[in-house]
A and B are shown apart, each in its own frame.
Chain A
Amino acid sequence: MKIPYYPGCTLNTVAKGFDTSARHSAVLLGFELKDLDQWNCCGAAFPLTPDNVMGLTAPAKVLSNARKEGDTVTTLCSVCYNVLKRTNKVVRDDKEKRAVINGFIEEEYDGSLNVIHFLEVLRDKIGFDNVKKAVKRPLKGIKAGAYYGCMLLRPFEDMGIDNAEAPTIFEDLLKSLGCEPVEFPNKIECCGAHLAMGNEDVVTKLSGNVLSSAKNKGAEIIVTSCPLCQYNLEKSQQRLAEGAGNLQMPILYFTQLLGLALGQDEGSLGLDKNLFDVRPVLKGKGV
């Protein structure tokens, strides 16, 4: 099985490990992530005001190109997923906007693509039971906090990947890998997002809340599906370490953990790029 895949700009550069660990995991699970022949940046923010049709043209171009390669596209970054899925809905349901967008991008796209997150591929196309069967190195006893953030879940009526207030898709995956998922209050709260540009204090506070919330519930690592969450949670720890706290909490992409459990070579997972190394935690548990 080949699934058309939209990497997005961040996974092509600073979050390379997120990308490679997913590709290798896919192969170990018996399918292939096939890069779209043509793609561009999605714009990284779904325009919140409905009058901003211009902001929909870049993601619509991605969708239109993807449709030429099949009826489904998958992506890994929560933000790409959010922008593509919401834009797709607008093109599908709003004829007037569809006409304006198509006129601008010079395409005839109708919104018939199915945009799914890689987590949904694992849950719905492969099945967590089958993921579990493919595990070579169970991550026994690792207490992992599943951090959803915002963009994977909200707004619920557009995203629909899981319950917006009490999601479990991440925890279900973690269980299939042998981890012990840790429930923590801030798992769907924002990390501070783009305020990383120009307002680090707020990011440190928000990400700090996420980190301490997870830590207080016993998490030893945090797992995410968003490169910006990953960056904010790491950088905030660095800034906090200069002040009061010193957490040293590894922040991993869920695919890095998946890759580890499936027995991928550690060198191909991008673990060295993470600020806080997960390997001592694994070692401590005899994994």
Chain B
Amino acid sequence: MQIKLGKENLHSEFVKLIERISGEELANCYQCGNCTGGCPVSYAMDFGPREIIRLLQLGQEDVVKKANSMWLCVGCLQCYCRCPKGVSAAKILEALRQITLRKGEDHEAIKEVPFPFLKNAPQQAIVCGFRKFVS
């Protein structure tokens, strides 16, 4: 992968927005990888939590936005609990989701959620799924 670095992406509006919404300072992460090590879904992510943070530190908005990582994060908080710097990758990934959802762009189409799931699943799964995937 080729990444173009420049002042404009290191201090981009997008990175500032992520920091504002998540309340996290991206520079605090020193890339130890404990978060990815503890993350149960990193195996399925295009980029694990450590890489997402690195890409954001480098201002790589497009790469991060295209990655499936934010939609796979289950919010289990293992990343945060094991981070020696107190950084919450969970909050950063939630900020990424929020940026999409707050524009009214849904990740899941409600119409396509299968009926048996809506009928049988615990309410909490449906309520939580809507909050994470639907604007």
Interface residues contributed by chain B, number (CB under 8 Å): 38
Nearest to B117 among chain A residues (CB) is A197
Docked-complex contact B113 and A44, CB < 8 angstroms: no
Contacts of A216 in B (CB 8 A): none
- In the bound assembly, the distance between CA atoms of A187 and B16 in angstroms comes to 37
Interface residues of A in 106-162 (CB under 8 A from B): 150, 154-156
Which residues of A are in contact with B by a Cβ distance under 8 Å? 8-10, 13-15, 41, 43-45, 47-52, 55, 77, 79-80, 150, 154-156, 164-165, 189-190, 192-199, 202, 205-206, 209, 227-228, 230-231
Can you name 19 A-B pairs with beta carbons within 8 Å? A45-B75, A48-B75, A48-B88, A49-B98, A50-B91, A52-B98, A55-B131, A150-B74, A155-B77, A189-B76, A190-B78, A193-B125, A197-B121, A197-B125, A198-B129, A199-B72, A227-B124, A230-B122, A231-B121
Closest to A165 in B: B81
Query: A228 and B90: CB pair below 8 A?
Result: no
B residues near A45, Cβ cutoff 8 Å: 75, 127-128, 131-132
Measured between beta carbons, the chain A residues less than 8 angstroms from B10 are none
User: Secondary structure of the A side of the interface?
Assistant: loop
* Cα–Cα, bound, A80→B133 (Å): 20
Contact A193 B121 (CB under 8 A): no
B113 to A, closest residue via Cβ: A197
Residues on the A chain within 8 Å of B22, using CB? 49-50
Chain B positions within 8 Å of A164 at CB level: 81
What B residues does A230 contact at CB under 8 A? 122
Q: Are B74 and A193 in contact (CB under 8 A)?
A: yes
Checking A13, A48, A49, A199 against B123 with a beta-carbon cut-off of 8 angstroms, the contacting residue is: A13
What is the CA–CA distance of A196 and B74 in the complex, to the nearest angstrom? 10
List residues of B whose CB falls within 8 A of some A CB: 20-23, 40-41, 43-44, 72, 74-78, 80-81, 88, 90-91, 94-95, 98, 108, 113, 117, 120-129, 131-133
Which residues on the B side are within 8 Å of A194 (C-beta)?
74, 125, 128-129, 132
B125 contacts across to A, CB distance below 8 A? 44, 193-194, 196-197, 228, 231
Q: Are A198 and B77 in contact (CB under 8 A)?
A: no
Contacts of B72 in A (CB 8 A): 195, 199, 202
Interface contacts beyond A189-B78, A190-B40: sample of 5 additional A-B pairs, CB < 8 Å, sorted by A: A41-B127, A49-B91, A155-B81, A197-B121, A231-B125
